[in-house]
Structure 1
C-alpha cells in the first residue's frame, strides 16, 4: 500500500511517500504563512513531485490546530497567524483520493498504537514539546477526537489561573503559554526582570528577549544558574500540564516527542518524575520517548491513512 503522509508544523511542512508502512521519500519546505490557500497548494505540488503518476491509495495529514474536521480546515493556527485554512476539499478535489486529517499530536499517538511501541496498550497518550504543546490520547483503544476534532487540546490547559501570560491563541495561563518553544523567550524575559541571582549569559540573553529554547537548554547543561532555574520552572509547568492529562485520560504510558524533548530528555524526564507526584492524584504512568523521533507526525499521518480510526473516519470519509 502506498500512502502520502503530510506533517503540517508551525515551522516546516513535510510531505512523504510511504510504502508498506515505511517512509521512502520526503520533501520539506518552510510552512507557508502568507495566505490560507497557499498551504493546500504547496501540499498538492509536493505530492505531485513525490508521485507524478498519482500512484498512492490515500492521504493522511497531521496538522497543527485547533481544527474543524467537519469542515476539513485548520480553524486557527496561532503560530502561523492564520485562520480558516482549507485542507481537505482542495486536496480531495485535486486527487480524488481518500483524505484523512487529524491534529498532529492525535496522529502521533495513533502511530504509537498502530506502528510503534504501544501496539499492546489500550490507554496511552502522546505529548509534543516543540513550538507549541500538543497532546493526543487513546482511551480503551479509541482515539479521542471530539465533536470537531479538538478533544486533545490540552496544550491550552490552564496551569495558572491568575496568569498574565497570553498564549498564542489569545487566552491566559495556558501550558503552551509558558512552555511552548515560541513563548519561552517571553517567559525568560519576565523571569529576568525579577532575577536576583548572578547575571549569567542566560540572564543577559533573556533580558534582551534572545534566550531561545536551543540556547536555554545548552546553557543549563553548562551550569548557567539563570538557565537552570528557568528549565526547572518549565519542568514544573510541564508536570502541572501532564497531571491534567493524567486526570483526563488515565494513560498507562505517556510518549513524548517534539524537538525540545527529543534533544533534552536528560534535562526534562527526571524532573517530570520528581514533580508530577506533587500534582497528580492518579500517580505517575510510565514516560517514554516516542518511537519515531523527528518523524513521529509523519508516521502518525501515515497511520491514520493506513488504518483509519473510526473516530477520524466519520469525518474524513469521501463525500
Structure 2
C-alpha cells in the first residue's frame, strides 16, 4: 500500500494542494477558493475538505496519509504548529492550525510561513535544486524570502530572518507599514509598482496603462503595468526600469551579505519576465563586490504550486523518511 503525503498552500484568495507518494511523484493536485471572508473556522474546514478530496479523487485513503505540510501566510510558530497572525485573512489570529487539522485527519501536520514553504518547493524541485546557497524571493503584494545556507534554511533566532522586503533602499523614502522608511517592499512589490504607476500617470494621460483599465486609475495593478510594458508603453517601461533599480540595489546587498550561488525570483511581479530581470541583473553586477557578481539571478519555475510542493516534500522528508528538521534548518 502506497504511502502518501499532502502539501497545502493557504492564500488569501485560493488554497492549493498537492499529493505525492514516497518516491516524490506527483499523484494529484487541486486548487479552490479560500472563502476567507467567512472566518478562520471556515478556512480550516476548507483545508481539511481539500485534503480529503485530494485523497478520494486520486484513489487513496486516510490510512495511507503519512502527514501534511501547510504553508500559512504571516507569522507562524512552527514548533507549536500555530499561526500567530495573518493580515490577509480576516480574524486570523493565534490559530492552532496543526492541531485542528490533525484532529480531523489523524495524521501529523506541520506548518511553515507560506513564502518559506514556496522557497522549499523551488529548492527541492524547482529552480534551486542543484544549488546549496540560494535566496528565494517572492515579489507579490509584499516581498518575502527564504534563505538557504549550505543546503539548510536559515530562519534566525526567533524565526524572523529573511525580511529582505524591509531592507532600506531609499533613506528618505515613504513610511512602511512596518514603521521603517524607504523599504524595498514599497518600491519593488506589486503594490509598490502599482502606486508608482498611478503617481506617474498624473503627467501621462495617454499611457496604455490607463486604456487597459478603461480610465479607472484605481484598477491599476502590477499586472497592468507588466502588460503595458510588454506592449512597449513608455511609461510602463520606465516604471519597470525604476523597479529594477530598487530591486537591484536590494539584491546587491543580499549578494554582498550572503554570497549565494543563485537568487530565485518568483511571485506575480515576475510576469514582467526579462523586462525586469535583465536590468535588475545589470544593477546587481554593477554594485556587488567582484566575487559576489557571480551570483545567478533567475526566475522561479514552480509558479503558484511552489508552496504546496514545498509542503509536500517536507512532509515526505519528515513523515515518510523520518528525517529530523534539524537536518534542514539552521
Structures share fold, TM-score greater than 0.5: yes
- Cα deviation for residue 50 of structure 1 reads 1.8
- Mapped to 1, the partners of 2:264 and 2:132 lie a distance apart of 13
Q: Counterparts in 2 of 1:290-301, with a 5 A limit? A: 290-301=300-311
Corresponding residue number in structure 1 for 2:170: 160
Structure 1 residues 310 and 171: CA distance shift in structure 2, 3 A: farther
Is the Cα–Cα contact under 8 Å of residues 67 and 148 in structure 1 kept in the other structure? no
TM-score relative to the length of structure 2: 0.82
Quote the RMSD (CA, aligned, Å): 2.8
Match for residue 29 of structure 1?
32
Unaligned runs of 5+ in 1: none
CA contact (8 A) 1:106 1:152 kept: no
Greater shift, 54-63 or 81-90, is seen at 81-90
Structure 1 equivalent of residue 84 of structure 2: 75
Decide whether the 8 Å contact of 1:256 with 1:290 is kept in 2. Answer: yes
Correspondence 1:256 to 2:260: no
Deviation, structure 1 residue 18: 1.7
Q: CA deviation at 1:135?
A: 0.9
Question: How many correspondences in the alignment?
Answer: 311
Over residues 278-298 of structure 1, what are the superposed CA-to-partner deviations in whole Å (9 max), with x where a residue is unaligned? 443332511222232332222
1:110 corresponds in structure 2 to 120
Please give the residue correspondences for 1:192-207 in structure 2 after superposition, counting only pairs within 5 Å: 192-193=201-202, 195=203, 199-202=206-209
Instruction: Give the Cα separation in 1 of the matches to 2:84 and 2:75.
Output: 6
Who is 2:217 aligned against? 208
> CA contact under 8 A between 1:101 and 1:312: conserved in structure 2?
no
CA offsets 1:222-264 (integer angstroms, 9 cap, x no match): 2212111111111112212222332343210112222331x32
Q: Taking structure 1 as reference, are residues 185 and 80 closer, same or farther at Cα in structure 2, changes over 3 Å only?
A: farther
1:43 corresponds in structure 2 to: 47
Report the Cα offset of residue 2 of structure 1: 0.7
Corresponding residue for residue 68 of structure 2:
59
Q: C-alpha separation between the residues in 1 aligned to 2:309 and 2:147?
A: 16
1:91 aligns with 2:94: no
In structure 2, relative to structure 1, the CA distance for the partners of 1:199 and 1:170 (3 Å cut) is: farther
Paired residue secondary structure (2:5): strand
Using the TM superposition, give the Cα deviation of residue 138 of structure 1 relative to its aligned residue in structure 2, in angstroms. Answer: 0.8
Over 6 Å off, 4+ runs: 312-315
Which residue in 2 is equivalent to 1:189? 198
1:240 has 2:249 as partner? yes
Kept after mapping to 2: 8 A contact 1:277/1:283: yes
Distance 1:304 1:24 in 2: 16
Show CA shifts across 1:163-208 (max 9, x none). 22534x5654322222222443323223334x4x574232676882
User: Does the CA-based 8 Å contact 1:143-1:311 persist in structure 2?
Assistant: no
Alpha-carbon offset, residue 125 of structure 1 = 1.6
Distance 1:212 1:156 in 2: 21
- Report how far residue 73 of structure 1 moved: 2.9
5 Å matches for 1:13-28?
Answer: 13-19=15-21, 20-28=23-31
Moved more, 53-62 or 104-113: 104-113
Unaligned 5+ residue runs, structure 2?
A: none
